[in-house]
Amino acid sequence: MLRLRDFTNKTKDCDATIRVENKELFVSTAVLSIASPVFAEMFEQQPTKILELPGIEYNQFTEFLKCIYPDIMQDITETTAYWILPLAHKYKLHVLQEKCVNLIVKIIQRDHTKNAEQLYRHIKLSELYDVQEFEICVEMVSECKLHMMEEANKKYPILPNTNVTILKLALRKLEIAMEDAMVCELHINKDTLQTWIRRNLLDSSTQQGQTVQDLGIGYLKALRLINNHSLDDYLRHKTIRKLKSLEEYKSVEEYNLLPSDLKKSVEQFNSTKVWW
């Protein structure tokens, strides 16, 4: 096996040198050129096979190389994913970038759904590296308080259009919440609210002639009311079943405006499990 763990030892297989932070790394043009079209072009344009890479940290670049070399193929970690993503994007290693993105999305969904600063950080990454998967953060951060968004935007300034989208989402969610509150004002206790939900939103006899869009809007209203007022679990599960029976329920605007935690519970709902 080649001694390429730290890339500081030059072997017969190393035919190029990369300088990072005034330190030399000995590499194979064949390995890097196969992995990256950008490196292939750089080596083609540089007959001496000596590349200077300014603006890159030495330790981060060596970790990047370890993910490329077939005799190493080091796994990406929750720490190195953030180092390697910009390099994978810069040098057009699409598979490696996808691995970083998938891991970071898991981190976002696990740790940062209510953290405005971290959500803005990832929105910034999505804009810098054209990562559409991080756009879930736009929806999530629209549930945060305004002063938290303002502070987060100071640290991680994002595009003005993105901020406008966030504020529009927040306003639309507020409109929906106010509409739900008007329903609740008519029902002084949980029993009467549950009865109203069953009769007006879930009863098949009241749904004749309704479009899939109308049904979806009704089921989602029922789900929000059930969730907000901690109503009967059986009613919750029945509502989710009805919602997921609609083929295009995810295309309904109100679905995309559900609170992140509630949307996650819908997506993870096991329709084959018996709840009664």
Task: Tell me how far apart the alpha carbons of residues 256 and 253 are, in angstroms, rounded to a whole number.
Answer: 6
> Does the pLDDT of residue 84 top 60, yes or no?
yes
> Is 276 a residue whose pLDDT tops 60?
no
* Residue 239 maps to a domain: yes
| Tens-place pLDDT, residues 124-156 | 999 999 999 998 999 999 999 999 999 999 999
252 is written with which tokens?
Answer: 């309904």
Containing structural domain, residue 231: 186-268
Q: Is 245 helix (H, G, I), strand (E, B) or coil?
A: coil
* Structural domain includes residue 197: yes
Contacts of 149-158 with CB under 8 Å at 24 or more apart are: 149/116, 149/120, 151/116, 151/117, 152/116, 152/117, 152/119, 152/120, 152/121, 153/120, 155/117, 155/120, 155/121, 156/117, 156/120, 156/121, 156/123, 156/124, 157/124, 158/120, 158/123, 158/124, 158/127
Q: Is residue 76 part of a domain?
A: no
| Residue-level pLDDT at 273 | 53
Q: How confident is the model at residue 114 (pLDDT cuts 50, 70, 90)?
A: confident
Domain assignment present for residue 209? The answer is yes
pTM above 0.85, yes or no: no
Residue 255 covered by a domain: yes
Average pLDDT of the segment spanning 43-57: 93
- The answer to whether residue 208 sits within a structural domain is yes
Residue at 3 is within a domain: no
Question: Is residue 23 in some structural domain?
Answer: no
Q: What's the number of domains the chain is made of?
A: 1
- The stretch 101-111 carries a mean pLDDT of 93
> How many angstroms from the chain centroid is the CA of residue 157?
18
Q: Which residue has the higher pLDDT, 153 or 110?
A: 153
